Structure 1
């Protein structure tokens, strides 16, 4: 096991439900300094685990473990932290309670404060649903978080994002004829259709038109769809996927007692220096939505990743996009005043 477990105990979720024996799986990179001020929190995205974040961590990079103490907490529902697949009855599989982004960040806050005694975070960074968590950190703990850097992630699930996730959910639920009482019959084989739905949204039209999948070693469009979308999704537990889809569809940094649904107020309350990096051709975490958010955050810069890799411009696959993200993170981390 290449990660650690932080026991949360019996937790009351935002929904009011209790999840007994909850826990966060996390991995750390580097060492916490004496002042405990070299901390970077890097939450995982939908379907990802901490290993999928490691492309952005390394010597000489912005997230350099020689300089920073980097904490990668795993999203609840991802199979490592408390999830439908690893929770004992009666909260297993289809009976796993609904977990929000707010819940996730609240538990991550417990990890960094209770386990490590950290009071200041230099940066919260993340891709996709990891990006939503970075926004949530900034809104939930404005005096603790000095910088945020969401890339290809929005501060709430805007309508287009919701519809895409609903299409993925519907593809899975079709396997049990949309009968919620039969959800425990779902298997990983039923995830094939989910991967195919996502294939139309993960990258851009230009990516397909220019056959960039050939750069990844696939000889044909069919091979790419099978090799990437179908196979990767079929490795996921369907109950974990449904849990994470619910978390994603209901994400909103203002949907909590702090802001009572006032989205603009939540954005304006973020004190952190913010570097917001949407994918310019992202089809469901739209650059236009990020721009609206950036304009309301007092200390935000808006830097789209000019790329035809769509949502996957933030996935750590394309070297030019990776450099763009890393360069902007280096610049953000070098800034100590209130100017971007």
Structure 2
């Protein structure tokens, strides 16, 4: 998917021209990105490529990739358009030596599947930690202008009460659960970023992202938002296996990219920033109702689809109790950043990007 898709082109135009990003700071710079074939990485690389090709901001993009053939397929349209994108073959445990200068590093690579965290907690910790140390050492040696680590709202752990969660909020991570390998190693890397900034002067920052979706989501995506969307587009009831009381913030892909670039270019060294659309804070049940009542669904079937709760005896064992994660974004907004798209927009634009 590239700019022949109307939704994706509009996203790229918005990112490349948004008033609060100092794009001129990227001129003639080299950016190293890990995790480039994932959803956020793809949108980020596409946005930088668009700025280079259509805003005439010359820059170079180095993407660390494990499978070069897969990467060539993923970025085929960008490469054919002449994007200044170059691949580095390696992974978090074996990052190749880079002889050229690097000005910015955006570290987003990580295992992302919950089942992987639970089944391979040692590998989850080792891969993430090894890669982060290597990249921070590279940042130190090359005296880069800015290093950004893409962290997660999961560093705050399991919160069972409704409250605003700012960057100073305490964390509730149970270290005696293998699944906690993911949030715990994210916390450790955040501490490394702060430590490298304090001890060695590395300009490292952290962004704590909420769940993100929108244009570029793969049609085989299995997270709950994609399951809801597929059911609605087929005219089927959206089935919940719980009461859907868990509440989260959400963020559109293009807004996540502008948040990432805002912290990279304008954030303070050694500090963390939440990124979410506070207006898009809702329960799982409310999200399901939003999808069921989307105009595209009602136009296709003449009415909304149903939202049905089907709890069973296994639900309590499989699904966690109700949790709440209402991220406070005042800090990142001091950098000038603002989200543009709300929850309904996220679904409509995700669907539009499939067309």
What TM-score, normalized to structure 1? Answer: 0.31
Q: Which has the higher strand share?
A: 2
Query: In terms of Rg, which structure is larger?
Result: 2
TM-score where L is the length of structure 2: 0.30
